[in-house]
């Protein structure tokens, strides 16, 4: 243990000089930014100077962190209408999620247009500050990468979800379709033939749509804003030094990432804070425990169709040995909560991380959003997940495969399924297994936030981490898949076989000729 202070001292001595760090986040998704912010707070605490352009200024300003707030996009909170997911088209009984691409592509393009019109961009381009690194988000639209290109600094990308099909090539990271489910699908790394077919279809169709639709639209926006003369966006994004992603193999499965794609899933969990008094009192009044319900910041619980609301309420009253705490932001009309059971308590907002880690919280009814899911896994709380959209199906698939919880489809969201599902995950054997698996998620050589900070500082110190840039990002599809080598080898093999065949025939003829002339001589 005497080693520890020594190690700490070396670590402090190696601490880099204060750097100028620019954050550029034009996407107004709170659940995305909640994953990014802890990294910037940690960097500010280490003395770096953060200039943050986003929709989410800090509520309480901190030293070394200056906010510049974008305006003009509605924040994506309490806006998702659950009625939209009641009927889902499943051709041949298979999930079909290509429309998700068009939805997020439209949002992303709009947020780029709005950000490009912001006076903040003018101010940023005119500012004399030279940034040591620019950190932005890789999600659906990369318009901010053009701005980063103009500001001439190494670029780091963050992803708050599993990386999208178009991110692999730009980072030079390999893809193994049969074990890598596409973001919008409910699959895991264990797929049958039909699932693999559907996965392959989704991965490559959505990837093609990105190249055919998103990239030209982005290039159009960029040339309108900054004039002609910039490289195309698909070239600019290959200049990304590092990608930090919200994945961790103990939950989301092992994947073959390139060296500069680093898993830092769970970094937002942070140290535990004391729960507010009213929640502690409620927990005290619940000797058998609490079940926590939240469908995230985007879903509007008031839009839960009434049959499903009644089913949920009925399940809650059936499990009356537990108290239920739910994030339910009431709008002007609170009639939906009139018939709520007496053991259900609703709140506009809840401290999710600290609630989940309270030992009296026994289960989590969730939508499979990645932040809540990792927090539950970190805290060892079994989940009953009803995925609605985006990557929630993928996350839910991983949770069920690793027995951190079970899935109840929205189609089946009735009293029978909910109550039975809750009984399964509340069972002692199931809960013990979750507590066991959570060890694997927590047990790491270095906490994920420290790992993220280490990599960011490494990019700064090394001027873009040149040694971990894979040349694979610059080679085309034919070379990357060794198709040329395959055909060349095939050609050589064929030539060899043909020559061998001709040679055998020649030898055969010579031998035949020889024996013929011998016979003739003998005659
Ligand atoms: C801000 O940065 C300075 C060094 O530039 C550092 O000494 C200080 O601790 C930082 N402040 C906070 C609140 O993180
Ligand atoms: C930190 O960045 C802000 C711009 O966001 C700038 O105004 C300020 O001068 C910088 N501080 C230091 C110490 O570099
Ligand atoms: C890539 O980055 C380097 C250094 O940051 C810069 O000189 C170069 O122009 C960039 N290329 C593109 C295509 O953005």
Q: Choose which residue among 47, 49, 65, 453 to substitute to test ligand 1 binding: the one with the highest number of ligand atoms within 8 A of its C-beta.
A: 47
Q: What average pLDDT does range 177-195 have in this prediction?
A: 96
- Express each pLDDT in 33-61 by its tens digit: 999 999 999 999 999 999 999 999 999 99
Query: Do residues 166 and 202 both lie within one domain?
Result: yes
For residue 157, the cross-strand partners are: 136, 243
Specify the pLDDT at position 523. Answer: 62
Q: Does residue 520 fall inside a structural domain?
A: no
Phi, psi of 53 (to 5 degrees): -105, 110
Specify the pLDDT at position 521. Answer: 67
* CA nearest ligand 2 atom 12, residue: 49
Q: Does residue 353 fall inside a structural domain?
A: yes
Q: Could you please report the per-residue DSSP string of 36-87?
A: HHHHHHHHHHTT-EEEEEES---SS--TTEEEEE--SS---SS-EEGGGGSS
Q: Does residue 326 fall inside a structural domain?
A: yes
Q: Positive or negative, the Cα torsion across 250, 251, 257, 262? A: negative
Closest by CA to 426, choosing from 368, 363, 365, is 363
Q: What average pLDDT does range 368-384 have in this prediction?
A: 97
Distances (CA, A) of 293 to 32, 122, 301: 20, 44, 11
Share of the chain above pLDDT 70, in %: 96
For residue 334, pLDDT beyond 80: no
Q: Does residue 25 fall inside a structural domain?
A: yes
Query: Do residues 388 and 411 both lie within one domain?
Result: yes
For residue 10, pLDDT beyond 50: no
Query: Do residues 335 and 416 both lie within one domain?
Result: yes
> Among residues 393, 424, 442, which one ends one of the domains?
442
Count up the domains in the chain and report the number: 3
HSE at residue 247, side-chain half, CA atoms within 13 A, is: 25
For residue 50, the cross-strand partners are: 21, 65
- Express each pLDDT in 464-511 by its tens digit: 999 999 999 999 989 999 999 999 999 999 999 999 999 999 999 999
Share of the chain above pLDDT 90, in %: 85
Specify the pLDDT at position 515. Answer: 81
Residue 265 Cα to ligand 3 midpoint, Å, equals: 29
Query: Do residues 212 and 108 both lie within one domain?
Result: yes
Query: Do residues 462 and 417 both lie within one domain?
Result: no
Query: Do residues 338 and 483 both lie within one domain?
Result: no
Q: Does residue 1 fall inside a structural domain?
A: no
Instruction: Return the H-helix or E-strand segment holding 234.
Output: helix 233-236
For residue 149, pLDDT beyond 60: yes
Q: Which of 7-16, 143-152, 215-224, 243-252 has the lowest mean pLDDT?
A: 7-16
For residue 173, pLDDT beyond 90: yes
Q: Does residue 272 fall inside a structural domain?
A: no
Domain of residue 487, residue span: 479-509
Query: Do residues 470 and 430 both lie within one domain?
Result: no
Query: Do residues 366 and 405 both lie within one domain?
Result: yes
For residue 20, pLDDT beyond 70: yes
Distances (CA, A) of 39 to 46, 136, 145, 457: 11, 12, 19, 11
Query: Do residues 319 and 289 both lie within one domain?
Result: yes
Query: Do residues 297 and 377 both lie within one domain?
Result: yes
HSE at residue 280, side-chain half, CA atoms within 13 A, is: 5
> In this structure, are residues 155 and 145 in contact, taking their beta carbons and an 8 Å threshold?
yes
Q: Does residue 66 fall inside a structural domain?
A: yes
82 pLDDT band, cuts 50/70/90, is confident
Residue 216 Cα to ligand 3 midpoint, Å, equals: 20
- Express each pLDDT in 294-320 by its tens digit: 998 888 888 999 999 999 999 999 999
- 66 close to ligand 1 (CB < 6 Angstrom): no
> In this structure, are residues 190 and 181 in contact, taking their beta carbons and an 8 Å threshold?
no
Query: Do residues 423 and 309 both lie within one domain?
Result: yes
Query: Do residues 369 and 257 both lie within one domain?
Result: no
Of all ligands present, the nearest one to the C-alpha of 17 is 1
Q: What average pLDDT does range 91-108 have in this prediction?
A: 93
> For the whole model, what pTM was predicted?
0.91
- 51 close to ligand 2 (CB < 6 Angstrom): yes
Residue 49 Cα to ligand 2 midpoint, Å, equals: 6
Specify the pLDDT at position 522. Answer: 67
What CATH number has the domain bearing residue 354?
A: 3.40.50.2000
Q: Does residue 124 fall inside a structural domain?
A: yes
Across the chain, mean pLDDT equals 93
């Amino acid at each position: 243990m005497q080693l520890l202070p020594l190690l700490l001292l070396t670590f402090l001595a190696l601490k880099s000089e204060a750097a100028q760090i620019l954050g550029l986040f034009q996407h107004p998704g709170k659940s995305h930014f909640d994953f990014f912010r802890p990294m910037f707070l940690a960097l500010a605490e280490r003395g770096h100077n953060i200039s943050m352009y986003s929709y989410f200024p800090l509520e309480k300003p901190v030293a070394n962190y200056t906010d510049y707030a974008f305006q003009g996009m509605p924040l994506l909170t309490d806006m998702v209408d659950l009625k939209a997911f009641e009927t889902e088209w499943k051709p041949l009984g298979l999930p079909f999620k290509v429309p998700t691409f068009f939805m997020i592509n439209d949002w992303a393009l709009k947020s780029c247009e709005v950000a490009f019109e912001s006076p903040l961009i003018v101010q940023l381009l005119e500012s004399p500050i030279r940034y040591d690194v620019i950190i932005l988000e890789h999600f659906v639209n990369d318009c901010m990468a053009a701005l980063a290109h103009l500001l001439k600094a190494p670029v780091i990308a963050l992803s708050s979800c599993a990386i999208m099909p178009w991110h692999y090539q730009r980072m030079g990271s390999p893809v193994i379709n049969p074990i890598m489910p596409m973001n919008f699908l409910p699959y895991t790394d264990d797929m049958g033939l039909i699932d693999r077919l559907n996965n392959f279809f989704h991965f490559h169709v959505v990837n093609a749509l990105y190249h055919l639709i998103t990239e030209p639209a982005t290039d159009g926006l960029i040339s309108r804003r900054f004039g002609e003369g910039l490289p195309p966006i698909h070239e600019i994004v290959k200049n990304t030094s590092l990608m930090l992603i919200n994945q961790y193999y103990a939950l989301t499965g092992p994947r073959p990432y390139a060296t500069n794609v680093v898993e830092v899933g769970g970094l937002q969990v942070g140290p535990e804070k004391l729960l507010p008094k009213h929640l502690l009192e409620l927990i005290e009044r619940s000797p058998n425990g609490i079940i926590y319900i939240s469908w995230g910041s985007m879903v509007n619980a008031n839009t839960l169709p009434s049959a499903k609301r009644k089913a949920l309420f009925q399940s809650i009253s059936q499990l009356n040995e537990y108290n239920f705490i739910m994030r339910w932001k009431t709008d002007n009309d609170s009639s939906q909560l009139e018939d709520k059971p007496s053991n259900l308590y609703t709140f506009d907002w809840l401290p999710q991380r600290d609630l989940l880690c309270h030992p009296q919280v026994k289960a989590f009814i969730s939508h499979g959003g990645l932040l809540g899911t990792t927090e539950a896994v970190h805290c060892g709380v079994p989940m009953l997940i009803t995925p609605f959209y985006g990557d929630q199906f993928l996350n839910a698939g991983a949770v069920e495969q690793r027995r951190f919880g079970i899935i109840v489809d929205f189609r089946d969201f009735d009293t029978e399924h909910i109550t039975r599902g809750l009984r399964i995950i509340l069972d002692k054997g199931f809960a013990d297994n979750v507590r066991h698996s959570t060890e694997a998620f927590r047990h790491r050589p270095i906490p994920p936030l420290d790992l993220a900070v280490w990599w960011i500082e490494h990019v700064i110190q090394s001027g873009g981490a040149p040694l971990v840039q894979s040349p694979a990002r610059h080679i085309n599809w034919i070379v990357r898949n060794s198709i040329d080598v395959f055909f060349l080898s095939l050609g050589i093999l064929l030539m060899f076989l043909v020559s061998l065949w001709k040679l055998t025939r020649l030898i055969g003829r010579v031998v035949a000729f020889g024996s013929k002339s011998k016979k003739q001589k003998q005659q």
